[in-house]
Amino acid sequence: MPDDFCLIDSHCHLDMADYQSDLDQVIDRAARHNVKGIVTIGIDLSSSQDAVAIAKRWKAVRATVGFHPHDADKASQKALAQLVDLVEKNTEAVVGWGEIGLDYVKKYSPPETQRSVFRKQLRIARELKLPVIIHDRDAHEDCLRIVREEGPFEQGGIMHCFSGDLNFARRVMANNFHISIPGIVTYNKADEMQDVASHVPIERLLVETDGPFLAPVPYRGKRNEPLYTLFTAARIAELRGIELGELARQTTENCQWIFGTEFNC
């Protein structure tokens, strides 16, 4: 691999217990292998507070805040107001609102609650002029419909861990959203995701780990970490027939643009 490039892991959960014993080493290991930026994602009030604390401690890290659809029933008006306050007091650390959206697979929160909280958070993000990071599992049409009804979003957004087909990706991008590709793209039977990763305009593409989940080959089944962004990016570059350095340059530019921040690249 070339040694003169910079990658950004656009979506990781550094606050989770999986990293508690070696977070310093995780961030340092990534940086030493050219993954020089990490966006750590909040999923509820406590997680968002922890994400911000991590971002304030490490120069390579930025944070987002929000309520994941699994935790939608915790998103009271008071809790949402606390998140807004967290953003306003930490404007350099916080670069987006999310992870928010809909999950019709596990349904830890009722779908109607998920939809209501999703709308509330989209409105807050729009008011704060923050990009939104969307979680969408088996909820493509409802996610896109609500985004269209609540938009447009000046700062755009990210469809994280993208799970749709190329046609859906095009519809998502038409709403000023980027497509973020996780380590699943390295799996043998990930034909649909590989098709998306091959054909989405590179100006709309991001790479992510979703760590500690979804580690790419050759670490599938193990704890994922920002360093492994390398394997996802290398596979996407291979699919597109371009050099890793070219993919890294463009996805880094995309990530810095959408989050309105610069990493040490």
- What is the pLDDT tens value at each position of the chain, 265 positions in all? 556 799 999 999 999 999 999 999 999 999 999 999 999 999 999 999 999 999 999 999 999 999 999 999 999 999 999 999 999 999 999 999 999 999 999 989 999 999 999 999 999 999 999 999 999 999 999 999 999 999 999 889 999 999 999 999 999 999 999 999 999 999 999 999 999 999 999 999 999 999 999 999 999 999 999 999 999 999 999 999 999 999 999 999 999 999 999 998 8
65 CB-side CA count, 13 A:
29
Which domains are seen in the chain, by residue range? Answer: 7-259 (3.20.20.140)
**Dihedral sign (CA 104, 259, 24, 218):** positive
What SS3 state is found at 99?
A: strand
CB atoms within 10 A of CB 3: 7
What DSSP string runs through 1-66? --SS--EEEEEE-TTSGGGTTTHHHHHHHHHHTTEEEEEEE--SHHHHHHHHHHHHH-TTEEEEE-
The pTM of this model reads 0.97
Q: Angle 229-240/244-259 helices, nearest 10 degrees?
A: 120
Nearest residue to 10 (alpha-carbon basis) of 176, 235, 259? 259
Which runs of consecutive H residues, i.e. helices, occur in 66-213?
77-89, 111-128, 140-150, 166-173, 191-199
Instruction: Determine the Cα–Cα distance for residues 215 and 210; give it in Å rounded to an integer.
Output: 8
Instruction: Determine the Cα–Cα distance for residues 123 and 101; give it in Å rounded to an integer.
Output: 13
| End-to-end CA gap in the chain | 17
